Structure 1
Amino acid sequence: MSENLKTIRELADELGVSKQAIWQKIKRDASIDLRQFTSTKGNTVYVNVDGQKIIKSMFKNDSSTKERQHKDDVDDNEKDDVDTQNEVKFLRNLVSEIQSEKKELHKLLDQQQRLALQDKKLLEEYKSEIKELKSLTMSKRGSEGDDFIQKENAVENRVKEAQNKNKKWWYFGK
């Protein structure tokens, strides 16, 4: 390793704070993207000279080291507790919303299945009615069918003859 790279632990010891205090400072200051100043080997994060300057400048504005460390630890714990409580509330609300949506979806699915079953029953009823009507018309045609067809043809012929008689040749010329 190069001499200008330091671990977060080494920086914390140098500044007289905990590693958590350094990470909390970095988290709070969203304008700093520490990734450009760090490299990682295994589980160890190494900070280059520029990153070290930025981290040190973050701690220069505070009061004494002991007070700062105690304050950061207390604040971090309080904020972590509040954040955790808020996150738990959020997740509980999210779970209850998902459960209510799930219930609603089950209701809609049941309703859709009932409607599909009703449609199927109606379709079967219509098919059976159509079969009955066909069988009735076929049976009527079988016994009376020939007479009926002959009478129907005779009536159609008479209507055509009557139409032809009523037409006059000069009527078309006008």
Structure 2
Amino acid sequence: MSEELKTIKELADELGITKQTVQYHIKNLPSKIRKKNSRGAILLTKEEQNFINSRVNKQSDREQSDREQSDREQSDSEQSDREQSDREQSDSEQSDREQSDREQSDREQSDREQSDREQFYLEKIKIQEEQIEDFKEQRIELRGQVKHLGMLLDQQQRLALQDKKLLEEYKAENDSLKALKMPTEETEFKHLDNQYKDEVNALKEKLENLQEQIKDQKRIEEQEKPRKWWELWRK
């Protein structure tokens, strides 16, 4: 095999890395065309070997640098831990003092809040007592209105009964006039007939006037009649 060409295994052994690492770097080669030997193994030219070698060296340098950086960070971390421990100790003492101050402040705040709540409840009780007194006065006023409405209702019922009785009396009087016997003599019949007609007409006119007055009175009462006391009470 030519000294310029090497297989992946040969280059890996020379560089002290694995075949997988060489295959990984082959993917980054500029040319995608690969030479192969009679057995189908990939052959790498001198340029490709140098390219892979340089990438491996760079990676090795980065790993070395990373190790050194890691060592420095480890040292810094340990120093930071010691400083953090000192700060935590100091913070713990400070926290204890602050905790004590907060507890004292919380107790004072709790006392103030308790006092404010008591004052609030006292004012609320006072307002409720005033509302109860207002309700009592309203109840007395409603009772007076109910009593007045009851009196108006009784008065209306008495007037209705009087109207009914008066109508019945006039109706009975009218019926009695109709039931009067007429004289059998023709002369007296004509005379009395005219007289009775005049009286009946006068009574009818009087009855009609009275009925009109009663209707007018009922219309006035219906217009002025207050709502039922239980409707006011329900509202």
Q: What's the TM-score bracket when you normalise by the shorter of the two chains?
A: 0.3 to 0.5
Give me the TM-score of the superposition, normalised by structure 1: 0.46
Using CA pairs under 8 Å that are at least 6 residues apart, name the structure with larger relative contact order, 1 or 2. 1
- Between Structure 1 and Structure 2, the one with more helix by share is 2
Give me the TM-score of the superposition, normalised by structure 2: 0.35
